[in-house]
Amino acid sequence: MFLIVIAERNSPYATINNFFDAIYYGFVTIAAVGYGDLVPVTIIGKILALILVVSSIALLGIFTGQITNEIRRFMENKKLGLYGTKMTNHFVMIGWDQFGMNVVKNILPSGKQVAIITNNPDDIDLIYSSFDDNNVFVLFSDFNKIENFKLANIEQSKSVFINFQNDSHTLVQLINIKKHFKDLNYIVSLNNNELKDTFHAAGVTFSVSNNEVSAKLVASYIFEPDVANFTEDIMDNITEEGDFDLEEYKVIEDNPYINKDYFEVFVELKKRFNCILMGLSRNENNEFKLYKNPNKDIKIAINDYLILLVDGATKQHIEKCFKVKEGR
């Protein structure tokens, strides 16, 4: 623009006589407005104008391309979970497959959030197309890079589910994770029920044998199908008023049934909410002990977990009464 002013100012027909005119001409020309009120009239001025237009378009293309690449890189990194999540009191699942998808489908209706760690980038689109990204976070990471798990805010999670097909891989993963995160609740799904003691010795909080659960359910269908149907029904989450579910609620200070006899609470909950108190879980010596249908003289205490059979019509009333959401 400065050179255009120099080239034009000595021409008697010049319309670009100062630097402000040159700036105005440059912006109008590059913006493709082209009013025609200011134009170069000398040969050198016209050549410089061509250079101005071509170089400006090139620079603008480079600049626009950079911005586009940065936006694309940001969105890709966000999709891969590389910026982390602020979820707390959520559940972390390591490993993804159809079984894991079914687990997440049963967790989300209870209002919980899940962070999924996968080493397969193809899983990411499938997960986000299946679930709301407000409740699900996905992290793409090599399972051996345990330090990356902090991006899933694993330290603030309620429990960690290791979801591998191979029990040996599950055990190795468990040992490696516990070196970095010792005090978390770990849950594993086993193919070999005989390995339960091994996993509990390695620090697992809960272990579930797929074959054992399936075998029990199949056996129940064979000789007591109504019991099997009932069991399968209460294992699902509540989505409609007519659905039933077994849920546990923590007893906090505002719970109206503190220090009341178990049987008294059983009767009152049945009368008031039409739900059934099935048992309670109590922390004894840093381990939770499950009391199934306990003696009527046992009293409800703070930090107990009451296990209730509820339906969709009463769940909200229970949560309002207990002033707490379901789950531990």
Euclidean distance between CA atoms 328 and 307, whole angstroms: 11
Tell me if domain 2-79 and domain 240-322 are identical in fold. Answer: no
Q: If DSSP codes are grouped into helix, strand and coil, which group holds residue 133?
A: coil
pLDDT value for 209: 80
pLDDT value for 238: 67
Euclidean distance between CA atoms 127 and 12, whole angstroms: 71
CB 240, CB 312: distance < 8 Å: yes
CB 271, CB 325: distance < 8 Å: no
Q: What is the DSSP string of 213-279?
A: HHHHHHHHHHH-HHHHHHHHHHTSPP-STT-EEEEEEE--TT-TTTT-BHHHHHHHHHHHHS-EEEE
pLDDT value for 239: 67
- pLDDT, tens digit (0-9, with 9 covering 90-100), for 182-204: 889 999 988 888 888 888 888 88
Domain 240-322 class in CATH = alpha beta
Model confidence, pTM: 0.69
Euclidean distance between CA atoms 215 and 221, whole angstroms: 10
Euclidean distance between CA atoms 192 and 167, whole angstroms: 7
- Helix H segments across the chain? 2-8, 19-30, 43-79, 98-107, 122-130, 167-180, 196-201, 210-223, 225-234, 262-273, 315-322
Type and span of the H or E element at 307: strand 305-311
pLDDT value for 169: 92
pLDDT tens digits in sequence order for the chain, 328 residues long: 888 888 888 888 888 888 888 888 888 888 777 777 888 888 888 898 889 888 888 888 898 899 999 999 999 999 999 999 999 999 999 999 998 998 898 888 778 899 999 999 999 999 999 998 889 999 999 999 999 999 999 999 989 999 998 999 999 999 999 999 988 999 998 888 888 888 888 888 888 887 777 777 777 777 778 877 877 777 776 667 778 888 899 999 999 999 999 999 999 999 999 999 999 999 888 888 899 888 777 999 999 999 999 888 888 899 999 998 888 7
Which single residue is written with the structure tokens 């293309």? 61
Q: Where along the chain do its domains lie?
A: 2-79, 91-214, 240-322
pLDDT value for 192: 84
CB 89, CB 325: distance < 8 Å: no
91-214: which CATH topology?
A: Rossmann fold (3.40.50)
Architecture of domain 2-79: Orthogonal Bundle (1.10)
pLDDT value for 207: 85
Among 146, 158, 187, 160, residue whose Cα is nearest residue 92: 160
